[in-house]
Structure 1
């Protein structure tokens, strides 16, 4: 977990370190990433890096969290428990994909989906028990569609079409 020492740094210094992390983790999978290029680019001592983060994985989780927060800021809507709306999920997926493509985090997110996701573990921010079966299925499918589109942009139209079809099928199901 990022240290309070890091969080108490001046904004400019934090930004410089985040930029160095972004460069390293956008170009190297976590398994091959190294502290040396990060500290060199950030202009900090190696010891300082370890004062701010437990290890490389910790710094990666921190940066990935920052990226997700920034990208989700435009789409920070909760799933409605009252109804199932296929268009809601289509809009969320399209907005998220556009947010990634138009952000400085695009290569980081692609590297995460392609190489690092299995190393970090899954996001447990919304417990499955809070979602009904259709919402859960739509969430899982939406995440897979995002991954497919970001790693294979040429498949965006057909993948979004398939998502729409499946969401409409889920919408037609009677839940009992």
Structure 2
């Protein structure tokens, strides 16, 4: 977890360190990332890095959290009372557009391609949501992943997602 020492740095110094983290984690998978390029780019001592973060994984989780918060800030997270496939299609479209237009695009792509299985994230317990909600979350995530990794597939992925969400809504046939 990012330290209080880091949080007490000036906004400019935090931004400089985030940019150095972004450079390393966008170019290197977490398993290959190193502290040396980060501290060099950020202009900080190696010891300072470890005052701010426990390790590279901690720094990665911090930065990825910042990226997700930034991208999700423009997305409507309020579920309606009824299952509306268009709501989820809009969510996927807005997330992809936000990611593609973000400084974090390289980080997100690297995360989806190489790092996702290395970093535990708070996943939703399938027992706490309906089967339809759980399936929709899994499908939406996979659609986002496919589009980020292979942008040319976006029309086909969105069509397939739309068809599947319509099936989950009871519109259409298997």
Fold match (TM-score > 0.5): yes
**Equivalents in 2 of 1:22, 1:62: separation in Å?**
11
SS at match of 1:74: coil
Structure 1 position 121, deviation (Å): 2.0
Partner of 1:142: 140
1:45-83: CA deviation from partner (whole Å, max 9, x where unpaired)? 000000000000000000000000000000041333x21
**Is residue 15 of structure 2 the alignment partner of residue 15 of structure 1?**
yes
Structure 1 position 123, deviation (Å): 2.9
Structure 1's unaligned 5+ residue stretches are none
TM-score normalised over the length of structure 1? 0.94
1:18-59: CA deviation from partner (whole Å, max 9, x where unpaired)? 000000000000011000010011111000000000000000
**More helix by proportion, 1 or 2?**
1
1:88-118: CA deviation from partner (whole Å, max 9, x where unpaired)? 1000000000000000001100000000000
**Equivalents in 2 of 1:169, 1:150: separation in Å?**
24
Partner of 1:92: 91
- 1:2-151 paired onto structure 2 within 5 Å: 2-80=2-80, 82-124=81-123, 126-151=124-149
**Equivalents in 2 of 1:166, 1:88: separation in Å?**
14
TM-score normalised over the length of structure 2? 0.95
Structure 2's unaligned 5+ residue stretches are none
**Equivalents in 2 of 1:86, 1:17: separation in Å?**
40
Structure 1 position 127, deviation (Å): 4.4
Structure 1 position 130, deviation (Å): 3.9
**Equivalents in 1 of 2:76, 2:38: separation in Å?**
31
RMSD of the TM alignment (CA)?
A: 1.2
**Conserved 8 A contact 2:76-2:91:** no
Q: Which of 148, 156, 159 is the aligned partner of 1:158?
A: 156
**Equivalents in 2 of 1:144, 1:59: separation in Å?**
25
Partner of 1:171: 169
